[in-house]
Structure 1
Amino acid sequence: MELRVLRYFLTVAREGSITGAANILHVTQPTLSRQLKDLEQELGKKLFIRSSHSVILTDEGMLLRKRAEEIVDMVGKLEAEFSSKEETISGEIYIGGGETDAMRQIASVAKELQINYPNIRYHLYSGNSDDVTERLDKGLLDFGILIQPADLSKYNYVNIPAKDVWGVIMRKDSPLAFNDTIQAVDLLNVPLICSRQAMKQTLNKNEFADWFGEDFDKLNVVTTYNLAYNAAIMVEEGLGYAITLDKIVNTSSDSTLCFRPLEPRLESSLNIVWKKHQVFSSATDMFLKAIQAKFSN
């Protein structure tokens, strides 16, 4: 299976049309069609459902698309690492994490490095802990930012000297907006929008469930979310109250939303992690040393 053919396949999958993909790839339509048929024969699976004007991925085609994207990303990362000049520190650094204000501290380290090493490039990937650790394990990320609780047994890590504060995002005209803090009893009879991180049982531990107590299973969770931006839109439209972290949703004076912390206060620690026995490029090694120097203080 050739990398070139995988890139052809991904272009067709993205465009939904062999004609459109052929124009982008600067190959003839018969050539592209033949390459795709050869790929299907090689895999022994039908990848597309073809019509006169478009193509739709089969289930096998969708699986190949996911794996092909990972392969192409990995090859691109590898090529970038080998193309870095030995006499200067340059290269690509891939960092994944959820929405957290602690990213400011990572950005501060990157900014300090940029002064002396302007040829280092950063690539950020947003996702929950499962997404991030999956990509870490596959080598698609160099570093991950994980919110506790998380399984750190497979990784080396540094504690980030910051904590995320849990609370509730709501409309400023909501009844609970008149409270300075939110207690468990306040959430029993209202529609809730919860992050999957907050609802997830990790290592038989769920900090939010422990905070809420024995009535956790009685919560009226109407929506779960991965990233808080979309959850904030749901709140704005009056769908419910969002359980989330502070400082990741706009709650300024010109916003229709406000944040109220939980009481008793609930905080989560954070770690920046990387795979054990990982071989770093010069750029990622320099970044790690900067992280360790800054956070160890």
Structure 2
Amino acid sequence: MDIRQLRYFLTIAEEGQITSAAKKLQMAQPPLSQQLKQLEDELGVKLVERGPRSIRLTDAGEILRRRAQQILDLADSTSREVSDFAKGLKGTLTIGTVSSSGATLLKDRLSDFHKTYTGIKFEIHEGNTFRIIELLQSGVIELGIVRTPFNTSGMGYKYAETEPMIAVMSPELDWDPEQERIPIAELRNRPLIIYRRFEQLIRETCQKTGFEPNIFCKNDDARTTLLWANAGLGIGIIPRSAYKLANNSNLIYKEIGSSALQTQVAAIWIKDRYLSSLARKFLESFSAAEPGSSQEGGRSL
């Protein structure tokens, strides 16, 4: 099994047909079919079920598809890493981000970093925190930008400044337009739209205040929370900086006055793993807005 065979297999899986995969790869169909058969023979397992017009991956084929993608991403990442080393501070920095950190990352981090190191290009992968950590562990990305809370085991990390959570809503659901900051008790009996990772924190904070939150919708993306809140379906709970993702919506927000409902953006990496000079320079620039509000953990830089 080699990289070439894995690329062939992934193309077949993506296209769902040997014929269209062969066209995409600019090769004849018989040699591609032979490569697939050789791969199945080598692994000793059937990878696809062949139908009259299409193929379907077997369970083993699905496993190989996931692993093959990781292997190819890692191969590409390794190639860039070696190339970047030779180029010094020129090359591509691979970063994974959660959606709720995107606006802060672009405005407060990457823009300034790019002005200082104009020869650097960026490759951004998006996903939830679990996906970002998976990409880090597989070596596809060097750095992850996530939000607290997250599991710091095996991670190096550097926190940015703390920010409050806010309640976002359409004007129709605003019970007091003059109120810009609210105690958490104001959320009692109101339909809440929350990011799933914050559920435990929100529940515990509400319970300590004496009520059970009315969670109307749970999701995995701050943009979904904003979309549902903008439709007037409920009150979204998001980090304050994620409000920038709302663009031109008519949403308004109120800061939640609770020391427990705080979050931070953090840069994370795998401890004791090689970091390129690009990644190190970015981490040096990943400082909080106010002196002393940044924290580091894991291996020193």
The count of aligned residue pairs is: 287
TM-fit CA distance, 1:135: 1.9
Which residue of the partner structure matches residue 228 of structure 2?
234
Which residue of the partner structure matches residue 152 of structure 1?
152
Which residue of the partner structure matches residue 136 of structure 1?
136
Q: Which amino acid aligns with 1:108?
A: S
Which residue of the partner structure matches residue 95 of structure 2?
95
Structure 2 unmatched ranges of 5 or more? 293-301
CA gap of 1:218–1:54, structure 2 versus 1, over 3 A, is: farther
Decide whether the 8 Å contact of 2:91 with 2:121 is kept in 1.
Answer: yes
Matched, 1:286 2:281: yes
User: Aligned ranges for residues 118-129 of structure 1 at < 5 Å?
Assistant: 118=119, 120-129=120-129
Q: Which amino acid aligns with 1:172?
A: P
Matched, 1:257 2:251: yes
CA gap of 1:293–1:226, structure 2 versus 1, over 3 A, is: closer
Decide whether the 8 Å contact of 2:189 with 2:213 is kept in 1.
Answer: yes
Decide whether the 8 Å contact of 1:251 with 1:259 is kept in 2.
Answer: no
CA gap of 1:47–1:243, structure 2 versus 1, over 3 A, is: farther
SS of 1:13's equivalent in the other structure is: helix
CA gap of 1:187–1:295, structure 2 versus 1, over 3 A, is: closer
TM (norm. structure 1) is: 0.82
Which residue of the partner structure matches residue 165 of structure 1?
164
Decide whether the 8 Å contact of 1:128 with 1:197 is kept in 2.
Answer: no
CA gap of 1:62–1:187, structure 2 versus 1, over 3 A, is: farther
What is the CA–CA distance in structure 1 between the aligned matches of 2:32 and 2:171, rounded to whole Å?
56
CA gap of 1:251–1:96, structure 2 versus 1, over 3 A, is: closer
Which residue of the partner structure matches residue 173 of structure 2?
174
CA gap of 1:270–1:51, structure 2 versus 1, over 3 A, is: same
CA gap of 1:44–1:223, structure 2 versus 1, over 3 A, is: farther
TM (norm. structure 2) is: 0.81
Q: Which amino acid aligns with 1:212?
A: C
Q: Which moved more, 1:166-175 or 1:3-12?
A: 166-175
CA gap of 1:140–1:176, structure 2 versus 1, over 3 A, is: farther
Which residue of the partner structure matches residue 205 of structure 2?
211
Decide whether the 8 Å contact of 1:158 with 1:295 is kept in 2.
Answer: no
Which residue of the partner structure matches residue 243 of structure 1?
237
What is the CA–CA distance in structure 2 between the aligned matches of 1:177 and 1:44, rounded to whole Å?
67
Q: Which amino acid aligns with 2:117?
A: Q
User: Aligned ranges for residues 181-192 of structure 1 at < 5 Å?
Assistant: 181-192=181-192
Decide whether the 8 Å contact of 1:250 with 1:257 is kept in 2.
Answer: no
User: Aligned ranges for residues 11-90 of structure 1 at < 5 Å?
Assistant: 11-84=11-84, 86=86, 88-90=88-90
CA gap of 1:251–1:32, structure 2 versus 1, over 3 A, is: closer
TM-fit CA distance, 1:71: 0.8
Which residue of the partner structure matches residue 116 of structure 2?
113
CA gap of 1:18–1:95, structure 2 versus 1, over 3 A, is: same
CA gap of 1:290–1:189, structure 2 versus 1, over 3 A, is: closer
Q: Which amino acid aligns with 2:269?
A: W
Which residue of the partner structure matches residue 270 of structure 1?
265
What is the CA–CA distance in structure 1 between the aligned matches of 2:112 and 2:281, rounded to whole Å?
11
SS of 1:86's equivalent in the other structure is: helix
Decide whether the 8 Å contact of 1:231 with 1:242 is kept in 2.
Answer: yes
SS of 2:23's equivalent in the other structure is: helix
What is the CA–CA distance in structure 2 between the aligned matches of 1:291 and 1:236, rounded to whole Å?
32
Structure 1 unmatched ranges of 5 or more? 201-205
What is the CA–CA distance in structure 1 between the aligned matches of 2:6 and 2:58, rounded to whole Å?
16
TM-fit CA distance, 1:112: 3.0
TM-fit CA distance, 1:214: 4.7
CA gap of 1:264–1:293, structure 2 versus 1, over 3 A, is: closer
SS of 1:102's equivalent in the other structure is: helix
What is the CA–CA distance in structure 2 between the aligned matches of 1:261 and 1:56, rounded to whole Å?
50
What is the CA–CA distance in structure 1 between the aligned matches of 2:231 and 2:7, rounded to whole Å?
41
